[in-house]
């Protein structure tokens, strides 16, 4: 278990280092068993510009479960809409070392469909 966590953290560090080199705004995700969270973080990495999660009251009303693909798609749509209203269209996708499938993929595809460019 600990080795699996360390491997994910190592992959996340490598990705974040590459994104930091490019000095671009990044869309970072955090996945837990119960919820999924997304944040658009400034290029310098010191400020969260917009955020969305399946734990928000609006989202929880419409979904029975916050830890599935449907919830991830809703969060992807919300983060894209919030980012566009803040004037952000292009981001680097930081999947935090998670594999690109399931909830992570659903969130990314929903964000792309609603106007974010990765």
CATH number at residue 87: 3.30.420.100
Distance (Å) of CA 3 to CA 6, 10, 115:
5, 10, 37
Task: Report if residue 118 sits inside a domain.
Answer: no
Total domains in the fold of the chain? 1
Q: What is the pLDDT of residue 91?
A: 97
Query: Is residue 94 within 8 Å of 16, Cβ to Cβ?
Result: yes
Task: Please name the residue ranges forming H helices in 39-113.
Answer: 57-62, 69-85, 103-113
- The secondary structure of 30-50 as a DSSP string is EE-SS-EEEEEE-TTSS-EEE
Domain that holds residue 27: 2-113
Q: What is the pLDDT of residue 3?
A: 92
Q: What is the pLDDT of residue 25?
A: 97
Q: What is the pLDDT of residue 2?
A: 78
Task: Report if residue 74 sits inside a domain.
Answer: yes
Task: Report if residue 69 sits inside a domain.
Answer: yes
Task: Report if residue 102 sits inside a domain.
Answer: yes
The pTM assigned to this predicted structure is 0.92
For the chain, 118 residues long, give each residue's pLDDT as a single digit of tens: 679 999 999 999 999 999 999 999 999 999 999 999 999 999 998 999 999 999 999 999 999 898 999 999 999 999 999 999 999 999 999 999 999 999 999 999 999 999 999 9
Task: Report if residue 109 sits inside a domain.
Answer: yes
């Amino acid at each position: 278990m600990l080795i699996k966590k360390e491997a994910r953290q190592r992959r996340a560090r490598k990705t974040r280092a590459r994104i930091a080199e490019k000095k671009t705004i990044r869309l970072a995700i955090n996945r837990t068993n119960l919820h999924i969270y997304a944040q658009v973080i400034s290029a310098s990495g010191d400020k969260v510009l917009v955020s969305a999660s399946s734990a928000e009251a609006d989202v929880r009303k419409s979904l029975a479960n916050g830890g599935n693909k449907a919830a991830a798609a809703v969060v992807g749509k919300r983060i894209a809409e919030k980012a566009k209203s803040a004037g952000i269209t292009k981001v680097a996708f930081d999947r935090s070392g998670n594999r690109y499938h399931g909830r992570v993929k659903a969130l990314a595809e929903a964000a792309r469909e609603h106007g974010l460019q990765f």
